Each structure stands twice: as structure tokens, then as C-alpha cells.
A and B are shown apart, each in its own frame.
Chain A
Amino acid sequence: MERVLSMFGSITTGDPREWLRALWFGLGVPVLAIALFLVVWAAGAARVQTSLGAVPGPMQVLAQARNLLEDHAAERAKRAQFYERQEARNAKRVAEDPKAQVKVHRWTGKPTFVDQISTSLKTVFTGFLLATLVAVPLGILCGSSRVVQAALNPIIQVFRPVSPLAWLPIVTLIVSAVYVTSDTAWFEKSFLVSAITVTLCSLWPTLINTGLGVSSIDRDLVNVGRVLKLSWYTKVFKVVLPSALPLIFTGMRLSLGVGWMVLIAAEMLAQNPGLGKFVWDEFQNGSQDSLGRIMVAVLTIGIIGFLLDRLMVALQSAFTHGATR
């Protein structure tokens, strides 16, 4: 990305040789590398025989991706029919008994691949949002008070490296015990379990970086604040946050990356109907198409992870643009 930007930068300087060089590094090399990767993949995959047949090459994976999208369209058509049937049924009921209470029921079919992507995104953002809401205030406390920092540091160091798979059973049991679902519940338990697991694992980069950002504020700024006798509120929002913002965003960017990785693992076990469950179900299916579909999911996970990272970079530059560091 930076290279592409510098490419535009060099247009204004007007040196055609510079411009070509930038084009070569910004576009030529990556495209060639991807092409080479595809060739190696296509040549190598056919040679590896698994118990489910040969490892699928790029063309088979593309075909599976197309299948999944067609499947999505077909399922949407079925859903429309489902609601039509229900409407007809309810209309008949009301005709028979005008006082009858009719309900509209949710679609009962399988989640399609597209649905699963959107479930995963919702879950990861919920978990990430929770993590940010906890981590930023805690980080500010940590950064501004040595006592708090000394107190929290060991806890952070111990919990930071814990894998999502270790958290999952604990979260599952606690959520099952505490959260009672009914027909009208906002969230599924599996959704909460996955989201909270994401929170627990993605909390730490934001927390540590916020602490670091706050503790390394320019002393002069702090002193000026003291001289002006700023209120606590003004101090936090006018002095601390603006100067710690770049590092907070760095932490959040790392957190979202961690969260996305953790989510896939959590979904495999918590049965949250997202991409992780898709991969696990396909593994269990063990059909000839399963490996191809799993690869579609792997690529999707990778591309979404990349886009999420870009999103955080864009947010960071939007919010911290021109801020004093």
C-alpha cells in the first residue's frame, strides 16, 4: 500500500523512470509472485494424494467458490418460498379464527457460506468492541498510575499468552450457567461464547499499547495541564487521549488481527455458525469436494483478515491525522 502511495507521490515529481520503478514494485512484482504461487500450487497439489482424493488446485477451488455462491442464491430462493408458505398458512389461520395469534417464524434452512461470513464478522466485531471498551479505560488507568500498572502487570502477563482453546470451556460453562436463553433472546449462546472468547484473547494488545501510549505522553503537556488546572475530564479528553491515540490504534489493529484468528478456532468448537464451523463441518463431511471448500474458506478468511487490517489503518490515519505524537 505504501508503495502504491509513493507511486502516486512520484507522479507529481514527474520522473518517468522513477514512475516505472514504482509501478514494477507496486504492481508487477506482486502480480508475478501471485502467478508463480498459483503455478506451484496447481503443479504441486495434484501430486499430493489424501484419503479424500488429490489436493484441489486453483481451478477446483474456484469451481467450489462458484458452487458456494450458487448454493447461496438457491437457498435465498427457498427462503422466500418459506416465508410465502408461512404467510399463506397464517392467513388461513386468521380466516378460520380471527382472534388467532399468528407469529412469523424465522427461516429454518441452513446458513449459506455468505451467511457464515457475516456471522463471523458480527461476532468478531462484537468481541473486538467489548475488548476495546474494557482495554482502553484500563490502559489509561495503567498508563497514568504507577500503582495500577504494578498491580495489573502480572495479571496481564499471565493471561496474555492463553490460547482461545483454553478459555473456551470456561466461557462455555459460565455463559451456559449465567445466560438463560428464551425464544426472544437477542443472542444465541454460541454467539456469546465465541464473542467473549474473542474479547478475552484480543484484549491484551490494546491494553498494553494504550498503557504505553498514556505513560509516554510528553511531560511538558502534562505539566501545562497541571498549570492550567484542567479538570480530570478535560485532561483525559484533551491531553491524554489525543497524544496516546496513535498507539491505541496500533493496539486495536493488533487486537482485531488476533481476534479474527481466535474467532475461527472458537467457532469450530463453540458451534457458532460462522466460518470456523464451516471448516469443521466440511472436515467432518469428508466428501470429495470438502477439501476444495475448506480452501475457499481459508482464502476467504485470509482476504477478510487483510481487509480488516486495512480498515484499521484507514481509521487510524483518519483519527490521528495531524495529531501531535
Chain B
Amino acid sequence: MSKMIGAATGQAGINRRDVLRSASATAATAVLISAVKAAFPSGAYAQSPRLEKEQLKFGFIKLTDCAPVLIAQDKGFFEDEGLFVTVEAQANWKVLLDRVIGGELDGAHMLPGQAIGATIGFGTQAEVVAPFAMGLNTLAVTVSNDVWAAMKKHIPHQGGKPVHPIKADALKPVVEQYKVAGRKFNMGMVFPTSTHNYELRYWLAAGGLHPGFYSPSDISGQIGADVLISVTPPPQMPATLESGTIHGYCVGEPWNQQAVFKGIGVPVVTAYHIWNRTPEKVFGMRRDFADRNPNTTLAITKALVRAAMWLDEGNGRNRPEAAKIFSKREYIGADYDVIVGPITGVYQYEKGDTRPLPQFNIYFKDNASYPYYGDAVWYLTQMRRWGQIAEAKPDAWYLDTAKKVYLPNVYLQAAKALIAEGKASAPDFPMTSDGFHGEQGGFIDGVAFDARQPNAYLGKFQIGLKGSDTVRS
């Protein structure tokens, strides 16, 4: 334990040195800073920076939350920055992360938990940084038709339709029936450090269902679980549900809507209802790539910010066009009809039960693309809550780790450059933010989150590790 603290403070030391070095010593960064400074009076920034690397390859998973990458590519925002980018769909999250770490991909649409997990050494160890957040919400929990039929009895109805948000309290009696019958209740999510894993767990635990712990010797994440959660790649979710291997899943779009279209399942709750600003994905790249190529990193961030702005422009008037772009086979490739609903803020829960849900995808509004340190801390608290971080850590460790992974300063630099070029306006950006929100609400269980006090936050939960708890297995 004391060793851990020692290591943690050591890291903090490195952090400070890093900051110092990047501010003054490193020649490349000096070039960057002078370039940004030069930009302000003239606005001629676009012609001046020397990009260290111009030909790039980015990875993505076929999900609508990778939108900024695809839009920056398709609308030519990368090319405007002088970047020649190839985007390539990856088979699954593991392959994507390994290829970023191995250098085959220069950057990728990534789960925040992957970037954070890699940096703290849960799973593959490598330092990954995120200068851009890929938006809010965009995921949902879907259950099979049978489970839905059983759940429905426990959900209050109004006007013949179930009242949302639906809590896992309604699922609890169903899971208990399964237990009595000696059957396991299985659910799918996409990756051990995925947003989907943590949101699904949050939702279940808020309804009194234990989603299971991880321990250093047992990384199945099913220790003491009421609901057994395991990994299934997103595109295979509907097929796995249909075959009966799992009884529900938590995944991004279009895979929940596809369950409705195929008539095999019903989405019961979306990320917006679990936490009204669930930070969904990030743009991740290796730390040494970002360090060696600061101008390129800045240019990438600028292009992504422009793409996010385009996606939210004019109250989402570009969204139908975006859905058309996504349905190209080299991008997401699912049918336009399946993609367009959630993208344009209309969500179909069941056939005949379609409701407006404008908050389902937010890419830019409300600083959705700004990488808050606080968001990274939230992921770290959830990793600790479920035992992926096996031992207690001091609050400072949480903050330092968040600062190692998220790069809000690069984001703000990109914003300033865009403002100077006249492509963006200052009020749209959190120009004075220190990377923290202050106390946040909007969770389904009403528990408030303050990123500066992660341990106190963990103490508020009934189910989950807190304090110096450890999992025995």
C-alpha cells in the first residue's frame, strides 16, 4: 500500500517535470507555442505550422459515436489541416487498442476506459492520451423480448406506455425468478473497460442488482454477481441475444435499434437516463506520438472539433446528411433507416413506441467534446468500485492519473486556433475551464459526483468497493 502511494507521488513528480519540459525545453513544443502566438494577430495560422507527420491512419469501431472521426474525414476537415488521413474499421476493441499501441494506427476512436486502463496498466500497459472527447451518451441497455415481457409488469404505465426512465428495480424480480429456476442471467457488454460495462453496472447496482467484482486473480468480473456480465463485440450483439446466450446487453448504436428492427429485443434505458452527461468515447493516441508530433496532434484536434461543431450545427440540421455518410459501407455500413433515428434525436423503444430523445447523441453542445479531467476521474472511480483497481488509492492519485491521460490544454489550443481563423466562436468553448465540473448530478440513483473527492464519492454507494475494501476470491 505504502509502495503504491510512493509510486503515485513519483508519478506526480514526473507529471510536473513533463509540464515544465513541454513548456520550455522541448524544441518542438516551443515551435508549437510560438505558432499559436503568431496566429492571434494575423489569423494566418493555417499556412504556418510545420506538421511533423502528414500521412496518418486512424482506427474506428462501427458505432455512431465515432462520428467526429468519420465526419472530419468525409467533409475534408482533416485535409483542410493538411492531414492525409485514412480511416479503417477495426475488428474489435482489443485489436484497435493493440494496433494503436503497436503503432499501426496513429490514433483511434477509443473507449475512455481503454486509454485510462492502458495508462494505469489494467490490461495492456502503454501510455495513451486523449486530446478530444467524442461526445455524450449514445448507448442503451437492451433486453430480450421474454425478459421485457416479465419486466413490464413491474413498470408503472401512463397512457398505456411504460414510464421512462426505467430502473433496474423492474429487472430485479425477473433475475430472482431466474435464480429460483436455477438459471443464470447473462448480459453482454463490449469490453472490460468500456463505458458500457460501467453504465450497465451502474444501472444494475442502482436497482439493487450486484453486477460482480473483478479481482487481480479473477478478471471475469463475475465475483458475487446477480447478473453475469461478459464481453461480446458490438456488431455481434443482436445475433448473440437472438441465440439466447445473453438476455440483454449494453452497447452503442445502431445495435440497440437493430434489435427493435429485427423484433428480437427492447431497449429499456439509454445512457442519458443513467447519467445525463455520460462521457462516451475519446480520440486516443500514444503519448509518445503526441509528444513527438505536437503540431500534428493539434491539427488533428482542430479537425475533430470542427467535425463535432458540424454535427451539432443549427440544432442538428446536418444529422440526416451525417446518417447518410455513416451508412456508406466503408464507414458504419448499417442501413440508413436504422442509423437515422437516434442520430436525429428520435428513439424507438418498441414498435409503436417512438419518443423524442434529442440528448441521445451530443457531440459538441455543452462542451461535449472537451476532455474534462473530471470525466476521467469518474471512470477511475468505477474501476475502483468494481475491483479493476484492487486497492485503495488516495484522491490525489485519481487526479494525477486523469491529468496524465486527458489533454484539455491541447483542446483549448485547438479551439483558440480555430477562433483565430474565424472558424469558431469563443463562447462555444470552456476557455477558462480548469478541467473540472464542480459537483455534478443527473444520475439515475440521485448520487452526486464531485471529481475532486473520488473516495468520498465511492463511499456513497451501497454496492461496490469503497475505502480500503478488497475483493477476496
Contacts and interface: CB of A to CB of B under 8 A. Distances in A.
A167 B47 CA distance: 48
Interface string A112-128: 00000000000000000
Given A51-B238, A269-B95, A285 B102 contact: no
A102 B88 CA distance: 26
B54 A103 contact: yes
Interface string A100-118: 0001011011100000000
Nearest to A182: B103
Given A176-B98, A282-B329, A288 B235 contact: no
Interface stretch (A38-46, A183-191, A232-240, A295-303): A183-191
B53 A183 contact: yes
Interface in B264-315: 264
A6 interface: no
Given A51-B262, A106-B55, A271-B91, A286 B334 contact: yes
B421 to A, nearest CB: 17
A273 B89 CA distance: 10
Contacts of A281: 89, 329-330, 333
B436 interface: no
A167 to B, nearest CB: 16
Contacts of A287: 327, 329, 333-335
Interface in B327-355: 327, 329-330, 332-335
A190 B102 CA distance: 11
Contact of B99 (A109, A271, A280, A288): A271
B90 interface: yes
| Residue in B95, B238, B329 whose Cβ sees the most chain A Cβ within 10 Å | B329
Nearest to A51: B262
A285 B62 contact: yes
B31 interface: no
Contact of B102 (A109, A110, A189, A293): A189
A96 B47 contact: yes
A18 B70 CA distance: 64
Contacts of A181: 103-104
B242 A271 contact: no
A273 B91 CA distance: 12
B104 A190 contact: yes
Contacts of B333: 281-282, 284-287, 290
B35 interface: no
B262 A188 contact: no
Given A105-B84, A176-B102, A285 B329 contact: yes
A55 to B, nearest CB: 15
Contacts of B98: 172, 176
B145 interface: no
Contacts of B55: 105-106, 108, 183
Contacts of B47: 96
B242 A51 contact: yes
A269 B99 CA distance: 12
Nearest to B84: A105
Interface residues of A, number: 33
A188 B105 CA distance: 11
Nearest to B264: A51
Chain B interface size range: 20 to 34
Contacts of A109: 86
Contacts of A22: none
A51 B62 CA distance: 18
A271 B88 contact: yes
A141 interface: no
Interface string B112-150: 000000000000000000000000000000000000000
B71 to A, nearest CB: 15
A189 B329 contact: no
B101 to A, nearest CB: 8
Interface in A248-277: 268-269, 271, 273
Interface string B235-255: 100110010000000000000
B104 A286 contact: no
B428 to A, nearest CB: 29
A159 interface: no
A290 B334 CA distance: 9
B228 interface: no
Interface string B70-95: 00000000010000111011110001
B369 interface: no
A110 B104 contact: no
B258 interface: yes
Nearest to B99: A271
A286 B330 CA distance: 12
Interface in B50-69: 53-55, 62
A289 B242 CA distance: 21
A8 interface: no
Contacts of A268: 91
A183 B53 CA distance: 9
Nearest to A109: B86
A96 B46 CA distance: 14
Interface string A170-181: 001000100011
A285 B84 contact: no
Contact of B330 (A110, A269, A289): A110
A293 B55 CA distance: 30
Nearest to A71: B329
B262 A189 contact: no
Contacts of A37: none
Contacts of A103: 54
A108 B86 contact: yes
A319 interface: no
A190 B104 CA distance: 8
Nearest to B328: A110
Contacts of A280: 91
Contacts of B329: 281-282, 285, 287, 289, 293
A283 interface: yes
A293 B62 CA distance: 18
Nearest to A92: B47
B88 A273 contact: yes
Of all A-B residue pairs in the complex, the 6 with the closest CB atoms, nearest first, are: A285-B333, A110-B330, A105-B84, A284-B235, A176-B102, A108-B86
14 contacts: A85-B79, A103-B54, A108-B55, A176-B104, A180-B103, A189-B102, A189-B104, A190-B104, A273-B88, A281-B330, A282-B329, A282-B333, A284-B333, A286-B238
Interface of B: 47, 53-55, 62, 79, 84-86, 88-91, 95, 98-99, 102-104, 235, 238-239, 242, 258, 262, 264, 327, 329-330, 332-335
Given A271-B95, A290-B333, 8 more contacts: A85-B79, A108-B55, A269-B95, A282-B333, A284-B62, A284-B333, A285-B333, A287-B334
